[in-house]
Chain A
Amino acid sequence: MSTFTPYTYFQCPCTDSSPPVRNIGSDSPTSIHSSSSEDEKAFDPRAPRANYSLYPLEHLLYCEDCHQIRCPRCVLDEIVTYYCPNCLFEVPSSTVKSEGTRCTRSCFQCPICIAPLSVSSLEAPPEGLGAEHASQGGPYVLNCPHCSWSSKEIGIQFDKPNGIFTQLSKIKNGGDPVITARERRKDREERSRDSAPGPVTDEDGVQDETVVKLDPNEVLDAESQFSNLKAFYQAQLAEASPANALGFSGGDYGYGSPGALSRIMGLYTGGTYADKKSKAKKGTMREAQNAFEGLKIVAPNSEDALIAKLQNEGWDATSSSLQRDEQSTHTPFISDLRPIAYLLRTKRSKRCKTCRHILSKPEAKIQTTRFRIRLVALNYIPSISIKPLQPLLSTQLQAPLVPMKPTQFLLTFKNPLFESVKVNIATPAQTPGRFASKITILCPQFEVGANTDAWEEALRDGSKGVEREKRRTKAEASEGQLQAEAGKVWERGRNWVSVVVEVIPASLKPSPDFLKTEAQRKLAEEGGEDDRVREDEDVVEIPVFVRVEWEADTGGEDGGLGKEKEGREKRELAYWCVLGVGRIG
């Protein structure tokens, strides 16, 4: 039996304003009707969409200008800073755009176990006098302190202990140097000079050239193929429309220019004869012809070596899917894995989607975790906690609810505001869903005191007063065999109030047919209802509509001066909550 902790989720009202979505399958007239009467209808925590609007109070923000709860769905994120989580260096957003979202210093994760890697020298540490002052030289490797993986295993060593990212990008696994984009470009330029008549070479010539630099079976890795292709396309675009480097050629845009590539998208333009003619004039973009242009032909037996390796080295040599996911290219074997540069993290500020006011803004400095602005709903909305009324033994704590046996729960509303609030709560008489439990709130209307300074409170009443009150209620309770009185608050504190909710859990066995209500019967007929209890259907979830009213200063932000002058303003906030009280046993 899984343990159950009572929970309270708050519904963000933003979902109400979202356009009604027509249910597929149901006829549209009824669904439109039902969506229009959504306001009157009780909130159903089991509705499929409810999952997307319910949040614990801690996840919610509060917009002071709209006086509304704001959930992660109705705020806009803005990135304040990018930083590396390992070295805590801030990365300017321009660098992020050009270099990518990885740390470009020396921060790497182990490709096997994702622990942070450290740089260490391969040389033996110097001994003797002044050893601590002597710097270690020689080749460096990346070491994993957790699984003791080392970059030596993939044949990678570094000359310098810093700037590992740039060094690594120049070395392939095994130690061969990577032909960088710049080298490729230089090589390309040389070739185009060699083949003076034009960049177009005949098939044989191409073959020869391929042999010169790359062996015929050499397979371009993804990065070099990408850079080759990009260079090729750029050359083609420039060649085609030398007048306009951008690839636009005036009014003839799209047809004439081999920005004909632009046709890629979609392009069911119906290639007319005129089209071909104009193309013929300017010359079409041709295809990539060889590896230098990014063409990668699959050799018929290219994968045999792979299979042979798979067979000889077996399971242990292959990388797990978790390890592969971290890599940017396809790495079937452990020997293909490369150290993972740390992904950058961001600090984000959040704005209200409707009024664009900032709801949360972190300190731009990376080392601090403080916030400049943080309007969390916790500071504006009474929190609700649930506990069973009957004191339970610790062994009973997770006891399930007994069907048909009235069980009472204490709802404690705690007010975070500095004004006292009036709270109205309402629930439907029965929980929605197949197993309708009966719910009664014994005291639906009450006032919760202000969250004044605790010391002030203590000085005014004396702590004894509170205790006395508590004791009195306790005594009352024991006299009445823990009978809560309707219409009365159960317990009251400085800024909190407890009220009692009585739940009569439904029986999980299907009710006999004659007891079923009309609606249930209809539902059963429609859905072909089976008697099995579906996942989490045995949890009693009570939808509660909470209305909070309080009087607040109108110019609250202006400071204390205007308080008296501007007068008080009545504020009201209403929202649905869902209380998960327990599992029916």
Chain B
Amino acid sequence: MTLILPSALPLPLLSTILDTLFTNFQAPTISLLSSPALSTAAAGLRSGLVVDVGWRETVVTSVYEYREVQTLRSTRATKLLGEEILMMLSRLINPELSQMKNPDARAAARELLSFEECEEVVTRMAWCGPGQNKSPPEEHTDGLASVKEEDEFRSSMRSLKIWGGTETEPQVSIPLKSCSPPRTLEVAFSNLSDPCEDALFAKGVPESELDDEEMPLHLLIYRSLLKLPTDVRSICMARIILVGGGSKLPGLKSRVLNELSTLVQQRGWNNVQGKAVEAYRNNPKLNKARSRNFDDGPIPVTAGQEVPAYLQPHDEDPIEEALRRESRKRNPPMEEGSLRAIDSLGAWSGGSLLSHLKVPAVSVIDKDQWLQHGSLGASRGGEISVSSRQSMGPGAFKTAGGGGDRSSWTLGLWA
């Protein structure tokens, strides 16, 4: 039996699950697999940035060579999207709601429509616009005027021929049964993408207002990439894997990519940002002043100094060159450095794939051993630690899954 678990599942929960499975389902052994790693495998990749748009939270996990490197979370996920859709629909049913205060309006909206009906609308009609920057702007020096955004959005829509050239927005009708009396709402089609803007991309909220756990998707991914070491980042950014129910939202994938490329263009891979940095970077005087300062110095600076060090061509490194040649002989070049999204079959299919291939898991738990010792019987590399990473020392790997000897076993990263 194979269990596919999120990598942050707490140990008490895990041991309850294992207890139940062993006592009630009589599984002889249970293998534990982590879902982001499987999502990567189910996309045919070894590394990737797995963005799991779930119900309660969106989890961005970077996987490098099947190892989870880091995880970031945000509450912007399908649940929030559902709530926004509910608000939009109920405002259409009862315009008075828009005058009410937010908590009151939400409570009232819940009375208006049933959850199931709202979910139905989310799954059937919600979509995600391509964002304001269909083609990333050439110059981004003075920031984007928020007034322009809507226009640009529309023009990009028109360029997509989604509106078929007509000026009037097309309407779609949504039959609602759970409100009383039942009615059919006429909604402008573009309105149906607004909740997604609010819920998943935090439109209109400046970044500084946002908490760490409510980052919009594109920022979350950007931050996650930013935290990674450069080489891992270059590999992960070319392998963005969107999974989870929310990723089925039409247009979401391309939107995320668009937003990301805009962000990267605007900020580069620089952790420091804000008005001061912007002003500093864009202030020609400042740059000039600095170079003049250098000029004044005793050592004359060459013109090449204007190119920052990280942009200058590297010196030839014979060893690295040799290594690269060696690796090229064996492996085809890896796609890296560009933004690219990959479709995955998802963690469960990944688990099925691996069981087809008879790949043993690191953490294989035997029924008798579990019932005898419980979670205490698991061998841990080194000391017992909260961090899963430390708990999987080389020792644990040696003992795990090897041949027939399973005298000691491990809970892997869940220990």
Contacts and interface: CB of A to CB of B under 8 A. Distances in A.
A261 B358 contact: no
A304 B129 CA distance: 9
B234 to A, nearest CB: 14
A321 interface: yes
A230 B413 contact: no
A314 B173 CA distance: 7
Interface in A526-585: none
Interface string B72-111: 0000000000000000000000000000000000000000
A297 B251 CA distance: 15
Contacts of B26: 76
Nearest to A306: B250
A266 B361 contact: yes
B195 interface: no
Nearest to A311: B189
A111 B189 CA distance: 27
A267 B389 CA distance: 9
Nearest to A314: B172
Given A297-B342, A303-B251, A314-B173, A320 B124 contact: yes
A294 interface: yes
B360 A203 contact: no
Given A266-B412, A269-B394, A270-B394, A254 B402 contact: yes
A70 to B, nearest CB: 14
Contact of B43 (A248, A295, A320): A295
Contacts of B42: 229
Interface stretch (A52-60, A119-127, A232-240): A232-240
Interface stretch (B29-37, B141-149, B199-207, B286-294): B29-37
Given A229-B44, A230-B356, A297-B343, A266 B124 contact: no
Contact of B353 (A233, A287, A303, A304): A233
B54 to A, nearest CB: 16
Interface in A191-221: 200-203, 219
A265 B361 contact: yes
A268 interface: yes
A551 to B, nearest CB: 36
Contact of A246 (B47, B251, B252, B358): B358
B357 A268 contact: no
A368 interface: no
B127 interface: yes
Interface residues of B, number: 81
A425 to B, nearest CB: 32
Given A261-B41, A318-B124, A295 B342 contact: yes
B366 interface: no
A222 B345 contact: yes
Q: Interface residues of B: mostly helix, strand, loop or mixed?
A: mixed
B357 A237 contact: yes
A301 interface: yes
A320 B360 CA distance: 39
Interface residues on A, range: 35 or more
A293 interface: yes
A265 B3 CA distance: 11
Given A247-B359, A271-B65, A301-B254, A264 B354 contact: yes
B125 A263 contact: no
Contact of A287 (B46, B119, B248, B251): B46
B279 interface: no
Contact of B34 (A200, A248, A266): A266
Nearest to B364: A265
A287 B44 contact: yes
Contact of A283 (B127, B330, B392): B330
B413 A303 contact: no
A315 B173 contact: yes
Interface stretch (B269-277, B304-312, B332-340): B332-340
B349 interface: yes
B253 interface: yes
Given A266-B361, A269-B394, 14 more contacts: A76-B26, A261-B41, A265-B33, A266-B34, A268-B67, A286-B332, A288-B45, A295-B45, A296-B342, A298-B341, A304-B254, A307-B162, A315-B174, A321-B123
Interface of B: 24, 26, 31-34, 37-38, 41-47, 65-68, 119-120, 123-125, 127, 130, 160-162, 170, 172-175, 189, 242, 248, 250-254, 257-258, 326, 330-334, 340-345, 349, 352-354, 356-363, 388-389, 391-394, 396-397, 401-403, 412-413
Closest 6 CB pairs of A and B: A288-B44, A266-B412, A268-B392, A298-B341, A296-B343, A265-B361
17 contacts: A200-B331, A222-B345, A226-B345, A253-B401, A253-B403, A254-B397, A261-B359, A263-B67, A267-B397, A268-B388, A269-B67, A284-B331, A298-B343, A303-B252, A304-B254, A308-B160, A332-B124
